[in-house]
């Protein structure tokens, strides 16, 4: 795992920034870090609270977040999110933040996911109606039916993992995990062929991607920049490209027994180029 991107945080909050560094339009305007339906700077985007996002009401209509099967109060969120304590940055808030990133990250794109014609969000919405965070579950599973709605189950996270979820490297892992669990709605039971009890998929088939293959595929699109959330706007040491690559080669690839995906190397422009950034609004006034 990369070092904690402290430097990126400082830059995001700094009113003066050099060209080519992290843009400074993080707070307080909602969606300052995104425009036109995509995320221009994931570090700035993740400093914003989901309940201040114009799409939040829609996201909450599409997906319900529960804890131990029960409805919960609206989580309290204050910006910037990196200034919240670990205890305040709850699993309920993290789930909403992951859904919010998913909502925007490939908006308007098509043909990039072999298992569905459109976006990841729209596909997941067609399979799952919510996330049930259950204390003590390790990882998660598909699925639970509550009040006639289908939920996938996610275990609660410890403090260090919730801290990681303030940043792209944590949130990206969560999104890929959500997609993995939603893929189980279509079947794709695991095997133990790779030596991990019920932690393997027999075949990596690009035309019929299994649950682990869906995770590998998303990492691949993030790494090659097909889905570009502006992680390359951060300082080099804070970018997650190497972590994406390591996860693909050292974790997901070893979950398959037949037709393992090829080892990948860093592309020429890892994670795509930093998208054009909005000018800081307050600076104009
Ligand atoms: Zn699974």
User: How does DSSP assign 68-136, residue by residue?
Assistant: TTEE-PPPP--SSGGGS-TTTS-HHHHHHHHHHHHHHHTTT--SSSTT-SS-HHHHHHHH-SEEEEETT
Quickly state the pLDDT bin for 267 (edges 50, 70, 90).
very high
Q: Report how far ligand 1's centroid is from the alpha carbon of 178 (Å).
A: 10
Residue pair 31/48 in contact by the 8 Å Cβ criterion: yes
pLDDT of residue 251: 96
| Sequence-distant contacts of 75-79: CB under 8 A, at least 24 apart | 77/49, 77/50, 77/51, 77/52, 78/49, 79/27, 79/28, 79/47, 79/48, 79/49, 79/52
* pLDDT tens profile 204-263: 999 999 999 999 999 999 999 999 999 999 999 999 999 999 999 999 999 999 999 999
Mean pLDDT of the chain: 87
pLDDT of residue 36: 44
Q: Report how far ligand 1's centroid is from the alpha carbon of 140 (Å).
A: 8
Q: Report how far ligand 1's centroid is from the alpha carbon of 100 (Å).
A: 23
Report CA-CA distances (Å) from 27 to 9, 70, 210, 233, 247: 12, 33, 39, 17, 31
Q: Cα(111)–Cα(261) distance, rounded to whole angstroms?
A: 20
Q: Report how far ligand 1's centroid is from the alpha carbon of 2 (Å).
A: 26
Model pTM score: 0.86
* Alpha-carbon dihedral angle through residues 235, 240, 246, 252, given to the nearest 10 degrees: -170
Q: Report how far ligand 1's centroid is from the alpha carbon of 180 (Å).
A: 6
Q: Report how far ligand 1's centroid is from the alpha carbon of 151 (Å).
A: 14
Quickly state the pLDDT bin for 279 (edges 50, 70, 90).
low
Q: Report how far ligand 1's centroid is from the alpha carbon of 189 (Å).
A: 7
Q: Cα(11)–Cα(269) distance, rounded to whole angstroms?
A: 22
b/e for 239-276, b at 16 or more Cβ within 10 A?
Answer: bbbebbbebbbeebbebbbeeebeebeeeeebbbebbe
Residue pair 218/175 in contact by the 8 Å Cβ criterion: yes
Q: Report how far ligand 1's centroid is from the alpha carbon of 73 (Å).
A: 29
Q: Report how far ligand 1's centroid is from the alpha carbon of 186 (Å).
A: 11
Say whether pLDDT at 37 is over 60: no
pLDDT of residue 9: 30
Domain ranges for the chain: 6-284
Q: Report how far ligand 1's centroid is from the alpha carbon of 183 (Å).
A: 8
Report CA-CA distances (Å) from 142 to 35, 72, 120, 169: 33, 21, 17, 23
Q: Tokens 């006639």 correspond to what residue?
A: 148
Quickly state the pLDDT bin for 38 (edges 50, 70, 90).
confident
Higher local confidence (pLDDT), 175 or 22: 175
């Amino acid at each position: 795992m990369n070092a904690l991107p402290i430097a990126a945080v400082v830059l995001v909050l700094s009113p003066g920034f050099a060209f080519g560094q992290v843009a400074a339009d993080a707070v307080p305007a909602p969606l300052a870090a995104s425009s036109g339906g995509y995320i221009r700077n994931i570090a700035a985007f993740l400093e914003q609270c989901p309940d201040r996002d114009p799409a939040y009401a829609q996201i909450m209509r599409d997906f319900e977040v529960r804890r131990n099967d029960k409805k919960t109060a609206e989580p309290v969120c204050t910006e910037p999110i990196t200034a919240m304590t670990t205890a305040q940055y709850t699993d309920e808030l993290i789930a909403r933040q992951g859904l919010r990133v998913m909502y925007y990250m490939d908006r308007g794109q098509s043909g990039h996911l072999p298992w569905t014609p459109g976006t990841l969000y729209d596909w997941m919405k067609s399979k799952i109606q919510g996330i049930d965070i259950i204390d003590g579950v390790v990882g998660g599973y598909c699925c639970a039916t509550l009040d006639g709605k289908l939920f996938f189950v996610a275990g609660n996270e410890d403090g260090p993992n919730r801290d990681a979820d303030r940043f792209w490297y944590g949130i990206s892992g969560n999104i890929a995990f959500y997609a993995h669990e939603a893929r189980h709605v279509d079947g794709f039971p695991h095997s133990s062929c790779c030596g991990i009890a019920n932690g393997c998929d027999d075949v990596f088939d690009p035309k019929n991607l299994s649950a682990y293959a869906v995770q590998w595929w998303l990492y691949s699109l993030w790494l090659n920049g097909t889905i570009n959330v502006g992680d390359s706007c951060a300082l080099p040491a804070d970018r997650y490209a190497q972590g994406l690559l390591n996860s693909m080669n050292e974790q997901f690839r070893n979950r398959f027994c037949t037709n393992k995906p090829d080892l990948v190397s860093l592309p020429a422009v890892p994670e795509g180029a930093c998208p054009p950034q909005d000018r800081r609004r307050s600076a104009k006034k």
